[in-house]
Amino acid sequence: MSIYILQLIFLTMNTKSEQNTLSTIKDGRHLRSVKTQESIVNSTIALLMESPSVQWPTAEQVAKHSNIGLRTVFRQFDDMDGLIRSCHKKIMVEFEKLLSSKSTKDNALKNRITFLIDERIDIYSKYKNVFASSIMNIQKFQSIREGFIEGNLRLKKRFENIIPEVLKLSSLDQAYLDTSISFASWYRLSIFYKFSDQMIIDKFSSETNKLLNLEG
pLDDT tens digit string along 79-92?
Answer: 999 999 999 999 99
Domain boundaries, the chain: 3-76, 80-211
Calpha distance 59→40 (Å, rounded): 9
Cα first-last separation, the chain: 98
pLDDT tens digit string along 118-155?
Answer: 999 999 999 999 999 999 889 989 999 999 999 999 99
Calpha distance 56→139 (Å, rounded): 13
pLDDT at 22 over 90: no
Q: How many CB atoms lie within 10 A of CB 193?
A: 9
Calpha distance 136→151 (Å, rounded): 15
DSSP classification of residue 101: T
pLDDT at 162 over 80: yes
pLDDT for 216? 43
Phi first, then psi: what are they for 95, rounded to 5°? Answer: -60, -45
Are 113 and 163 a contacting pair, CB within 8 Å? yes
String of DSSP letters for 140-207: T-HHHHHHHHHHHHHHHHHHHHH-GGGGGS-HHHHHHHHHHTSHHHHHIIIIIS---HHHHHHHHHHH
